[in-house]
Structure formats: C-alpha cells, structure tokens
Amino acid sequence: MGDSVGDVALRAPAAPFTWDDLLAMPDDGYRRELVHGQLLVTPSPVGRHQNVAGELYFLLRAARPAGLKVFAAPYDWKRSEATVFEPDLLVFRSEDFEPDGWLTATPLLVVEIASPSTATTDRTLKRAVYEEAGVLSYWLVDPVEPSLTVLELDGPSYREVAAVSGETPFGAARPFPVTVVPAALSGPG
C-alpha cells in the first residue's frame, strides 16, 4: 500500500503496458498502440480517412515491385514487447512477412493519415520512434486539406524531401517509384 498526503493516496506508477496486455484487450474498434510501454488508444477512423487509405493502398499496391508487400491497417508492427504500432499503411520486404503473425522487421515505408485524434502524435511521437527504428520513408497524409509530407532517413535523422498539396504530384523514389497526387486520393466521386 502506498503512502498518503492528505486525502490522496500515493501509489507507485503502474507497470508499463506490454504486448501481452495489448493482446488481452477487447477487439472493440479502437486502435491500440504501445510506445515504450505507454498505451495510445484512438477511435476507428472516419470515412474520409478510410477512403484516402484505400486509394493510397491501391496506388502503392499497383506500383510495387516483386519482393515487396503493401499492407493496410489493421496490421501490427511489433517493434518490441513495449512498442507496437498499427500504421495506416506499411511497405516491407516479402521475406519479412509472417503469415500467422505480425511484422517484426522494420518496414521500408510507413504512412500515417491524419485524423483529429492522431495528427499531433503522428508528427511528433511516432516520427521520433520511426526515425529511431530506421524506417527509411515516412509519409504523412492530410485527407482534409489534401497534402503529403515525405520524410526520408538521411543518416540517423529524417529530412523533409517533399511537401505537396492539392493537384501537385510527388514522384517517390523510395521505396519504389510511384507518383502520388494528394487531391486524387479522395477517390472517384
């Protein structure tokens, strides 16, 4: 039992969350991720987000060369027992695919599509951990103001190589050649 100060009981901080804790949680439509033992919980994405995710998935899937896989959420990237992500889109080597498990290798590309509940986390916390993990390319997509920010690893740090919006195309070289036009991701009307 902890000490007390006035009417407030002081307790030791709870243990960090782990992969096993994540597996024991209900499948209730919330996205749960772990960053160094801290639990991040976000609601399921809205239609606009999912539409952009679907369009970008099909674009990447059609352009990918042999030897690479493109996956859309939900698919966990288990970096460690205390750090697990569920990015909106992942590109990784086919040899790293675990048909009956989760991705444990570092992806080549991670895409996060901004939602009101995730935009700040995507641009700060996740960016830092993806950079530390060695993810070569990190794309941030804004579905409301159609835009794409592209970060690529340059040594140990990310460097912004593109920030395009609307009808302006971005010609990616990493992880493979593909042209993305942010406004086109909202899909056919």
Tokens representing 52 are 């952009």
Q: At residue 2, does pLDDT exceed 70?
A: no
pTM of the full structure: 0.88
pLDDT of residue 188: 60
Query: Which residue would you say has higher pLDDT here, 37 or 11?
Result: 37
Q: At residue 47, does pLDDT exceed 50?
A: yes
pLDDT band at 117 (very low <50, low <70, confident <90, very high): confident
Query: What's the mean pLDDT when you consider all of the chain?
Result: 90
Q: At residue 11, does pLDDT exceed 50?
A: no
Contacts of 166 (CB under 8 A, 6+ apart): 146, 147, 182, 183
Over residues 152-161, the mean pLDDT reads: 96
- Please give the full DSSP string across 125-177, using - where no structure is assigned: IIHHHHHHHT-SEEEEEETTTTEEEEEEEETTEEEEEEEEETT--EEE-SSS-
Q: Are 143 and 48 in contact (CB under 8 A)?
A: yes
